[in-house]
Amino acid sequence: MNKTYPLYVKVTIVMLMVILFFFAIIQAKDFLYPIVLGVLFGYLVYPIANYFEKKGLPRIPASLIGIAFFVFIISVVLVLIYNQTGNLLDNFPVYKQKALANIDALETMVEKQFGIADLRITEFLRSRVKFFFEAGSDKMNKVFSNIAGTLFRLGILPVYMFLFLYYRTKLAYFILKMVAKENRPVAVDVLNRFSSVVPRYMGGVSTVVLIIMIINTAGLSFFGAEHPLVFGIVSGLFAFIPYFGVLIGGVLPVGFTLLTGDSSLTALQLAIFYPIVNTIENNILTPNIVGSSLRLNPMMIILGIIGAGMVWGLPGMFSIVPLLAMFNIMTESVPKLHPYSFLLGETGTRRHSITIENIRLSFRRFKKEIRKRFKK
């Protein structure tokens, strides 16, 4: 006999399941996010490994060639940062004194111009600056140890990438065995779309990040900011986060220049520069390089990034977009999940989007309306 539960019981059960799910992935994040990133970067080098396999090379060496290319690129970036960071760290005591002097000058200027002097704010800023520049303090050592731990966990990425590339056929067959026979054609189609969309996205967004690094470095050099290569590369890496990653990455060079620069003009120029770069990335680079293969609407991407950042931090903000794309592919293929596909996708909002075609249509309507009014 089927027992029907009241609505509040069903809602409570669903809420408990959601809470337990997020509790589990938060507790296991140090184990899970390297695996997720390993799979995503495995998709990035999958076209290389697949190309060599089609040329007759066995899977193991083909996979290792793709991973070696990935490791080489990452190593080049890390070596560039390491070589340039030494000079930055050596000058930290000098930058600390400049920052404290700039804070005092700012406090004096505010007092003269507005007659306002709040020593509590000044002392707070001075204490934060000392914390940032005094690398020998216990708190800074803790920050460095956390960063080292994160880098160590990410250091196992090539292993996960190799395991994914080597066992990808076995994993696909496992999924097919879990699916009923009548649904296997749909499962095959979903897996094929995964292997097409995700590598395209990962390759496209990596290309965008490389271009942003070059633009940032050139811009920082042009405006006379110190250590342009370090800050250009580091701020460019945040472009992996869609929509506002460039702005997040720009906080560090703008803040550093504002604190340690001889003039606030450079910081002001950078504060204008990074929103311009963000606009170029969102409206020119990403649409033309990454394309619209994800078919996700901006609202769900932004909400996903914010939620993933709360759960997994920066690794979550980076990985959530391709994961949402994979989930959207599943929802498009399963009739019962079509409402979720409608929520995630662009259907229903295209006529309101700011596109060249919609601008042309609006202009045509405007001309017709003007002609009607003149005829009257």
pLDDT tens digits for range 188-198: 999 998 888 88
Residue 1 reports pLDDT greater than 50: no
CA distance linking residue 24 with residue 266, whole number of Å: 46
What is the helix (H) or strand (E) element at residue 293, kind and residue range? none
Span 239-276, pLDDT tens digits:
888 888 899 999 888 888 887 877 778 888 999 999 99
Q: In angstroms, how far is the first alpha carbon of the chain from the final one?
A: 73
pLDDT for position 137: 43
Report yes or no on whether pTM surpasses 0.85: no
For residue 9, give Cα distances in angstroms to 2, 5, 6, 19.
Answer: 15, 6, 5, 15
- Name the residue with tokens 């309507």: 365
3-class SS of residue 351? helix
Residue 307 identity (one-letter amino acid): G
> What are the phi and psi torsion angles at 145 (to 5°)?
-65, -35
Q: Which region holds residue 115: left if phi is over 0, alpha if psi is between -120 and 50, else beta?
A: left
For residue 41, give Cα distances in angstroms to 127, 160, 199, 325.
Answer: 40, 9, 8, 15
State mean pLDDT over 219-239: 88
Q: What is the overall mean pLDDT for the chain? A: 81
Residue 58 reports pLDDT greater than 90: yes
More confident residue, 36 or 154: 36
3-class SS of residue 340? helix
pLDDT confidence bin for 335, thresholds 50/70/90: confident
Query: What percent of the chain stands above pLDDT 90?
Result: 24
Question: How long, in residues, is the chain?
Answer: 376
Contact yes or no for 205/290 (Cβ under 8 A) = yes
Q: Which region holds residue 23: left if phi is over 0, alpha if psi is between -120 and 50, else beta?
A: alpha
pLDDT for position 143: 47
Q: Which of 194, 238, 151 is nearest to 43 (CA)?
A: 194
Contact yes or no for 137/145 (Cβ under 8 A) = no
Segment 150-158 long-range contacts (CB within 8 Å, at least 24 positions apart): 153/30, 153/33, 153/34, 154/34, 154/37, 156/34, 156/38, 157/34, 157/37, 157/38, 157/41, 158/67, 158/70, 158/71
Both structure tokens of 360: 């042309």
State mean pLDDT over 207-236: 90
As to burial, measured by CB atoms within 10 angstroms (0-12 exposed, 13-18 middle, 19+ buried), residue 292 is exposed
